[in-house]
Structures are given as structure tokens and as C-alpha cells.
Structure 1
């Protein structure tokens, strides 16, 4: 397990002595889903067996966004949330390597010599079976193993992880599920309830006027989540958890404005403005609708709240990671 709060470190610098000689898991790990966890768990097992520090190296922004800026990747776990998940998985540090075209232009040999050997001083590298690195992805799993032999670090490649139905777990598959509102199915691939983070902002206070005051956060423009109503659990900065029901959408009954994620917490009345919160999604209840009157909307919100309470009352952790994040 981690020996303290996880350190978020920039790339390009030599790691502190206490992290030198680490087992390093390398990848984007966007989502930290069960496929990623297969790689991360192998790294953790090797670190435990060899008594080494445990480090994860990721890339910011996502490489696909750098090469296709007009089509940015919809992030499942922005860097702060990814670090929180890695900490829960027992990692000591995460190196968030700035990824730009200059870095992408490193030859595979330069990547090994400057990053793996020079900066990370890795004792062992763990990556997915299809890991490529260096300019034009010329570095392959085979060249990584050969480089390890030449530079005296271990190299382990982990096969693709398949779910109980025999399908490979991938970030793109999860994005498709979230865009369809299928958050319960996505949780099965994540291995935990998908959790978003945001700072509570002051809105038009429509919910307060309806008797449903909400904590409002704005999600990244690329967020792929389907508009609708969700059963959620919110974690405050002090670690306390609060059940609730959330609406993600444009409020078509009123203004059809910019998309907001609005959470009503059960049996809670404190002011949360400017507080950073984590919201875990447990179930999709229904799609966004336009109602003929505020009274009709309130009646439906009452039903939504009752259904969300029932869903959350029966929820159990999907894994140790889910227990750490959402329970």
C-alpha cells in the first residue's frame, strides 16, 4: 500500500531518491478501468515482491488530443481524479509527463535513455501488451524488452483484459456506455462507480425556488454523459458522503441553457458554493424532459428522489476501489 498521500510530479525531472529504483506502470490510464487495473495490479505485485517504490507514469494532455486538437478526447478521469484513484490503488507517486509534439518526437532510444533510465531510474517497467513509444510509435513491446535487457531494468507486458462476456475492456467502450446513460453497465467495466469532480458554483437558483436546492458544477465541454436524471453520491472535501439525485442537462422546462450537472442532496442544507466535490453516479433514472408546468416537474422530481433513495439504499461496493471512492 501507499506510504502516504500520492505525489503528483511533472515529467522531465529526476525522481527524488526515495522513489528511485521504482516499479513504473506506464500508460494513459484514462478511466483507470479494469483493463488498466490489470496492468496496475501487476506493477503493484512486482513492487511488493521486490520491496520497491510504486510509480505510475501518465501523459498530459491525452496524446490523441495533441495530434487531433479539433477532436479532443473526452476524458473519463482528468488528472486530479486519476491521481486519487491511483492513490487508492496504493501508488506512491504519479508522474504526469507533459505531452507535446516535441516530446512525441523523441526517438524510442531517447525515450528509454532520458525518461525510463535518466529521469525515472526505473527498476522495472510494466505496460499493456500493445504499448508503443517514441516518434511515430516506433518503439514496440519487443524493443522495450530488448531495452530492458540492455539497460538492466525489468520489463513486463500485460495481456488485454477481458470482461466476463469475453470482450476487451477499453476506454472507448466505456465512453459509448456513458453517452447512452448506461452508468451501471459502465461501472461494471470501471470496477467502481464513475466519479466526476467539480467546483460548486452559484446558478439561477431555479432548484431552490422549486424546493430542490442543488449543488451545480460545470463539466468539461467534451463530457460524453447523456442528459438525464441520475442517482448519485457526493463526497465533500472533508470526506463525508451524502446521497442525492442529479440532473445533467439544459433545463428545457425553463431556459434550455448551457449544460449543468445539478445535484440535490437528501437531508442536507449547508452552503457548498466554491467547494470542490466528487460525485459518483450509481444509476440512470430517466432522460431529460420538458414539462408543461413547474408543478408537473416537481411531481416528477419527487418520484425521482424516491427512486434514487431506493437505488442508493441497496447499493454495495463493486470492489475495494469502489469502496474507497463511493462508500
Structure 2
């Protein structure tokens, strides 16, 4: 089933109206988000399944000075929602004007008039409207007045509390991609267009594809066992470095550099997705380029083994198809 994306809430076609929609930012589309969507689908099986989300994330608008924090950018989020069976994604442009819309106008003008929703669902912490004046209780009252069904879905939680995007960010920043994967339902990936670098990796015998982190969260700096998804669908194992390259000390901002094993094709200008499986070691400054080269060779051997072990155990397939 195709997942249709609508980016202008004012021009929704008639055949996309009448859906049941989950509301939220859905950064990461983690297991908690999946629980919200699947609970709504079970409650409204005869209605098209939809999501109402926002772009950019409100935090990016209100706190532009903050470091990048996104787990998923729009295309990645849309793909993850599609895998959950969502038919319509109503991606609302979140700008200064929209941020001043009252909670009542959001429910009336957007959810009822423009989108024509018949049922909505949200989590316990959903907030909306000017200065976050609306919460789940307010939404319940506003939707009831418009004849829209409403359900508040209890958070999916474990012994450490509710699953959340913030919690997953902390795991990635702490260097625990495997634990983050358990809460995402898949291993985390960074997508971006390959850019020209200084070719130092090639001189060291390990050519790399250089991808800016952009708006993605910067995880723990260091070396990761990784897998690269190419535009044609192929997947190639590799070893990735995230950080500022302290041995070279070129003054550049943090970046992602990934060496693809047994691969010699030109990737410049192509969109790649680099999945991080395990942090092999933290970022480190070496006394010489020869020492760095020797360490990269060791990193590559370890990365090959980690990826082989995970594949043989089935853990990769289990997570990526959940």
C-alpha cells in the first residue's frame, strides 16, 4: 500500500479525508510511536490510517541555537511510517504563523475542516496550540465538540519508563546503538549526500564516503561497524568514523566518513544511508598517520566480525523487519 505525503494541509483532496490519525512529531518513529499507530489501527480498522506531524520539529523553530538533534528527517520518517501501514502522512509546515494558532483553531480549522478526520489519537504528553496551551484533555473536549472520535493511548514503557525520542537520543550519544535499536525497532541510520573530502582516507588505503551530519543528531564520536544502503538497494558492509578527526586536526566540524568493504565505485553526489550497529572504539588522537592507518586496519577487521556475528545470529534481520 502506498503511503501518500501531503505537505499543505489547506489543499487535501477529498479522497484523503475521513481518516483516523495519530498526532505527534514522530521523530525516530520508535516502538512507542508504533504502539500509538497500531493501537489506533486496531480501534479504527475500517478507517484509512493517517499521521499528522510537523516539519520542522517545533524545537528547531523555537531553539535554532541548539545542536542538531533529529533522529529522522522527513524522508526517513515517511518511510518508517509507511512500514507501519500508514496510508496518509499530513506533514504540517511548522512556522511562526502556524505556531500562533490557538488550540481551538488547530482542532477546528486543521483537524476537522481541512483534514476531515473522523478519529484522532495521541500520547499522554501531546501538546499543541499557541504556547502549547492544548493537551490531551483539551483535545478530547475540542474533538468531541466537532464530532471527532478521540483516544489517548498509554505510553509503551519498560522498567526505565516510557519509550521516547529523548531517551533514544541519550543512548546514541552515550555510544549504545544496540540499545537504541531495541527501542527504535531497527538500527539507527544517518542519510546524506556524499560530498568531496580531502582524500586523506584514500592516501591511507581506506577511501571513505564523506557525509555531513546536517540536522541529524551527532552520536558518540568514534568508530562504528556499519552497513551502507545504496540508491539501487544494495547493502555494503563497512566501518564508519564519526567525529572531528583529531589526528589530522583540520578544524572541520564533525562528519561521518564510511569506508565500504570491497567496494570501488564512485559515490559522489549519491544519497546513502549509513546504519550504525556497534561502537568499536571512541574517538582518539594518534601520534602519527602510520599509527592511525594500523588502527583503521584493526577497526575494519573488528567491524567485519561484528557484522558477521550479528547477521549469523539473526539480530539484524529481526530488528529491521519488525
TM-score calculated relative to the size of structure 2: 0.92
Contact preservation (8 Å) 2:71, 2:216: no
Query: After superposition, what is the alpha-carbon deviation per residue over 1:267-314, rounded to whole angstroms, capped at 9, x for unaligned?
Result: 111111100011111000001112222222222112111111111112
Is residue 295 of structure 1 aligned with residue 279 of structure 2? no
**1:314 aligns to what SS in structure 2?**
helix
Q: How far off is 1:63 after superposition?
A: 1.2
Which of 4, 7, 22 is residue 7 of structure 1 equivalent to?
4
Query: After superposition, what is the alpha-carbon deviation per residue over 1:215-272, rounded to whole angstroms, capped at 9, x for unaligned?
Result: 1101026633121000111101111111110011122222343122111111111111
Supply the distance in 2 between the matched residues of 1:247 and 1:73 (Cα, whole angstroms). Answer: 18
TM-score calculated relative to the size of structure 1: 0.91
Moved more, 145-154 or 170-179: 145-154
Is residue 242 of structure 1 aligned with residue 236 of structure 2? yes
Partner of 1:155: 150
Runs of at least 4 residues off by over 4 Å: 317-321
1:320–1:59 CA distance, 2 compared to 1 (3 A):
farther
Supply the distance in 1 between the matched residues of 2:260 and 2:283 (Cα, whole angstroms). Answer: 19
Partner of 1:41: 38
Q: Structure 2: 5+ residue runs without aligned partners?
A: none
Supply the distance in 2 between the matched residues of 1:38 and 1:319 (Cα, whole angstroms). Answer: 20
1:296–1:120 CA distance, 2 compared to 1 (3 A):
same
Contact preservation (8 Å) 1:56, 1:94: yes
Q: How far off is 1:132 after superposition?
A: 2.2
Partner of 1:130: 125
Supply the distance in 1 between the matched residues of 2:211 and 2:139 (Cα, whole angstroms). Answer: 42
Supply the distance in 2 between the matched residues of 1:32 and 1:219 (Cα, whole angstroms). Answer: 19
Is residue 270 of structure 1 aligned with residue 268 of structure 2? no
Partner of 1:32: 29
1:20–1:221 CA distance, 2 compared to 1 (3 A):
closer
Partner of 1:92: 87
Supply the distance in 2 between the matched residues of 1:319 and 1:53 (Cα, whole angstroms). Answer: 29
1:321–1:45 CA distance, 2 compared to 1 (3 A):
farther
5 Å matches for 1:252-267? 252-258=246-252, 259-267=254-262
Supply the distance in 2 between the matched residues of 1:200 and 1:42 (Cα, whole angstroms). Answer: 39
Q: How far off is 1:192 after superposition?
A: 1.0
Q: How far off is 1:100 after superposition?
A: 2.1
Q: How far off is 1:105 after superposition?
A: 1.7
Partner of 2:178: 184
**2:297 aligns to what SS in structure 1?**
helix
**2:162 aligns to what SS in structure 1?**
coil
Supply the distance in 1 between the matched residues of 2:316 and 2:293 (Cα, whole angstroms). Answer: 33
